[in-house]
Amino acid sequence: MSEEAAQQQAPGAAHQAGLGALTLGALGVVFGDIGTSPLYTLKECLHASGGDKAAQADLYGILSLIFWAITLVVTVKYLTFILRADNKGEGGIFALLALVPEQLRTARPGMISTVALFAAMGAALLYGDGVITPAISVLSAVEGLQVADPSWASYVVPLSCVILIGLFAIQKHGTGAVGVFFGPIMLVWFLTLGVLGIYHVSYNPEIIFALSPHYAAEYFLRHGWHGAHILSSVVLAVTGGEALYADMGHFGVKPIRHAWLGLVMPCLILGYFGQGAHLLREPGSAANPFFSMVPKGPWTVALVILSSTAAVIASQALISGAYSLTRQAMQLGLFPRFDIRHTAHDMEGQVYIPRINYFLGFGCVVLVLAFQQSNRLAAAYGIAVSGTMVITSAMFFLVARKSWGWSMRRSLLVLLAFLAIDLPFLLANMSKFHDGGYIPVLIGAMVMVVMVIWNRGRTLLGHRFRSRFASWDAAEERMRSRLVTRVPGTAVFMNSNSDMLPWPLVRHVERGRSLQDTVILVTLRTVGDPAVRDQERYEYRLLPSGFHQIIMKFGFMEDPKLLPVLLRAVKRHHIPFEEDEVTYYLGRENFVASNKGQMGEWSETLFAFLHRNAVPADRYFGLPPRQVVELGTQMDL
């Protein structure tokens, strides 16, 4: 694939909404996380530098670090490079994996390739980030009540939990609806940041000199290696960078770039430098510089209400990204089947996944109750983000080198430039592991185990079926030896491998000694593209013995609803098919989970649990349940 082809947008049908509406929606979804970073970033940086005892030179150094982190990580790395690696409009770590050549993505049965494992690791860390982001954003905003009136401190945690529960309750209405509602609010939020920044900078315009990178360099010269710890707080300013890429399929590249360069980045910089200018006038406000930018009383309460609303919206970026990642992981065989609900007709990437929503919501509330304060929760923040940034950089290198054909020198220069930024952030955050940094790592490890076990179980299961029925001819001969009669009717058998007869068909004939006159073998394949054009949707083959084979292709961002494609195929090829009379045969596997199999007892037990709790195949494929027959088999993987 050429670099130019890789950079093309999704087909026009994927983004029917107008650019203005999508840009406004992107404000409410994509930029919520990074947009509310001013609530806590400078406060945490100052805390790491001594709080109100921090020197003025330290303030200049911190602001310089924040500005250059935002510029280099978000504007240069993500907007200029990473967003070019879209898979026909879709983004995220799994879109990068899909762009990697197939030989690097595949492995022998029961194993997962190094590249796929690496991508799964980055995605797993994003789930940890998705749990922490809503918790810290909402807590930071609601803590502003303590600035307005210290007696309200006891209401912070309960109110934060109520807000989080409400946030996850509205997710079923869809990203588009949420974005349209939240977009105007975030527009007000960013304009407020900009106006407050301009107001305070006008009193101390010399703070603008902090834009110079030499202040950042001087900070490290003054503090030595100990000063590198500040990066674990500075990274909070860019925590939403990965969400820009993960949510690209919800709104498209152009709306994201226009919103960032035209509004978000200028207002963010003004917001940070406005806090810095205010600190020059009132150094004692370092405990909470953001809410100190307005007079105490009604103005503080108003800012708390606005920032709380913005914090709720901030959570949306990671929540939407988690939905997209889950859907892609399912299509790539790394997650069991979940119930997916489409929430928009004009944007294919806008989906809602109830189980993931419950998981994230429960985790957020538990974190708020456990940590109580945003500064304690901030210690848990950063490892997941910086770890995913490193993995994204490595995956981009593989795509540029192996798929786009960049020279080794060019690819390596870009990789080293990215890692020169990403690795210091990751190493600085590792020092916070014992102070809460283990939380996202633990969540990521749990997700990672599920991905690896599910992938291994699926591949071993396919390998077992292939070894049981060594060839099509052998399985057909075995079936014919038991077949007594053909009966009127049509049977549809799901077949995971188009080169073999499905085992439910062989078992059906062995036990029933009969078979319908018309047999349709359906194989579903997930391709490396987000979507498949209708004219390439299926392949048809006429087989002996009245068998028809239909191979259906779906993109990794599509729901594999079988019936619409099947009906088009049988109509075009004149296959006997009475929709209400057809019987669909599915296989159901039960696993022994003993030490005799290749997986091992505990691994197979977990795989069996995931298999039992996956969305039933008839519902996942959109089959009428009254016409489905399941045939079971028992095996030890």
pLDDT in tens, 227-258: 788 898 899 899 877 778 877 776 778 888 88
Predicted pLDDT of residue 260? 92
pLDDT tier, 2 (very low <50, low <70, confident <90, very high otherwise) = very low
The pLDDT of residue 115: 85
CA nearest neighbour of 556 among 394, 318, 325: 325
> Distance between CA 256 and CA 4 in Å, rounded?
20
Q: Mean pLDDT, to the nearest integer, of 292-307?
A: 86
Which of these ranges, 123-127, 139-143, 309-313, 581-585, has the smallest mean pLDDT? 309-313
Q: Which two tokens stand for residue 108?
A: 């022998």
Place of tokens 């694939």: 1
* Other beta carbons less than 10 A from residue 4's beta carbon: 9
Q: What phi and psi, each to the nearest 5 degrees, are found at residue 631?
A: -115, 130
Q: Please report, rounded to a whole number, the percentage of residues in the chain having pLDDT higher than 70.
A: 91
- Beta pairing class for 485-494 and 514-527: parallel
Spatial distance between the Cα atoms of 606 and 596, rounded to a whole number of angstroms = 16
Helices 56-69 and 41-48, interaxial angle, to 10°? 130
Biggest alpha carbon–alpha carbon distance for the chain: 94
Say how far apart CA 444 and CA 161 lie, in whole Å.
Answer: 23
Report residue 13's pLDDT band, with 50, 70 and 90 as the boundaries: very low
The answer to whether 276 and 99 have CB atoms below 8 angstroms apart is no
Find out whether 264 and 24 touch, Cβ atoms under 8 Å. Answer: no
Quick one: CATH architecture of 24-456?
Answer: Up-down Bundle (1.20)
pLDDT (tens digit, 9 = 90+) per residue, 493-544? 988 777 778 888 888 888 888 888 889 999 888 776 777 888 888 889 888 7
Closest to 630 (Cα-Cα) out of 517, 543, 502: 502
Task: Give the pTM.
Answer: 0.75
Which percentage of the chain shows pLDDT scores above 90? 19
The per-residue pLDDT for 180 is: 63
The H or E element containing residue 538 is strand 538-543
Which of 190-199, 463-472, 618-627 is least confident?
463-472
| 406-410, 449-453, 562-566 — most confident range | 406-410
Query: Is pLDDT of 161 > 70?
Result: yes
Residue labelled with tokens 């105490």: 296
Give the pLDDT of residue 15.
Answer: 42
CATH 1.20.1740.10 domain position(s) in the chain: 24-456
State the alpha helices, DSSP H only, in 495-551. Answer: 503-512
SS3 of 371, please?
helix
